[in-house]
Chain A
Amino acid sequence: MEDVVTHEEDWKVCFAELGPGLVLFARQFVRSIADAEDIVQDAFVRFWRKQHSGDPPTPGFGAANRGLLYATVRSVALDLLRRDARRARREATASADMEQTTEPQFDFDDGSQRALAAAIDLLPVEQREVLVMKIWNELTFAEIASALSISQNTAASRYRYALAALKKNFVVHE
């Protein structure tokens, strides 16, 4: 990924690596794949435009760049929810009954994974977004902190809370 954002032609390489994780991250705010992909599309174009504007691009794909990319996805998602209050209510309703109405975020090999995925859905969104960025996007706490505009300690705490809650819920489901 070195210098991937310094070449305009390399966006496909960048997106091929980050795309699934970005869509999964966007899914934490909306409950359909289509909406999540719309968010990622908008955010990725904005991010790439920003990187290749008149300003000199930040060399490499460092913590600041990755943090900016996820921050852009989050910002676009929240804007979408704010723009459409009816949609937001529908999403809130869906989150209360997500097992029946939401599309799965993962491909499952067995029932155990399905139960784990269900336990993830029960986490508060603040913990879920940290968990998704850490596990499936492999961001550091510094990058997560940059994306969410929080301290690294807060990011680490949310991550630990998420794992603790998952462990508790997952054990129960097992």
Chain B
Amino acid sequence: MNDFSELEAELKKLRPRPVSPDLSARIEVGLAENEAAGRGTATAGVLPKQRRFRPNWFALGLGLAAAVTFLVLARVNVDRPSKSTGLALLTPAPITPTAKAVDGFVPSAMTQVVYDTKDEGLHFAEGADEPMRRLRSRKRETVQWKNPQTGASLRVTYPTEEVTLVPISGQ
């Protein structure tokens, strides 16, 4: 027995005031909220970061620059044979000297309608050192004659096809 045993006995006779009835309910609510929040794992304030999509601007820029450089240096030839259909060109063609007056009829007009142009690619012409691009044009020519004395007119329409070799400029 120490000197304070009597005092300790007196102290233990003091009864702490009872806890209010709602405190237990409040704790229950607190624990329930904790359960609802994903089993309430204690993290001591250190929470794992949520993964968020964050673009890597450096890598993105580097890739873009590489792509542009490739395009500039490679000069990708994206020319393709045209598959145009329909009217390509309507040109009033000059009257050629070969169209001579026949029986009082004189040439009065001539038109060319280019309705198709096709790029047939590169071809090596005989004796040529460099390849040339061959273009095939399909036209419809109309030649008109008039007789100035009688006022009669004659019009002739015929299809033509023209192949043009275009030199390729060095690049």
Interface residues of A (CB under 8 A from B): 11-12, 15-16, 19-21, 23-24, 33, 37, 40-42, 44-46, 48-50, 52-55, 104-109, 112-113, 116-117, 120, 131, 135-136, 160, 163-164, 166-167, 170
Contact = CB atoms under 8 A, between A and B. Distances in A.
Contacts of A113: 10, 13-14
B4 interface: yes
B24 A33 contact: no
A2 to B, nearest CB: 21
B23 interface: yes
A116 B20 CA distance: 24
B12 interface: yes
Interface residues of B, number: 27
B7 A136 contact: no
Interface in B8-65: 8, 10-20, 23-24, 26-28, 30-31, 34, 40-43
A34 to B, nearest CB: 8
Given A33-B17, A113-B13, A166-B7, 10 more contacts: A11-B27, A23-B16, A41-B30, A104-B17, A108-B14, A120-B11, A136-B16, A160-B4, A167-B4, A167-B7
A41 B26 contact: yes
B7 A53 contact: no
Nearest to A159: B4
A6 B24 CA distance: 19
Given A12-B24, A41-B27, A45-B31, A20 B18 contact: yes
B115 to A, nearest CB: 79
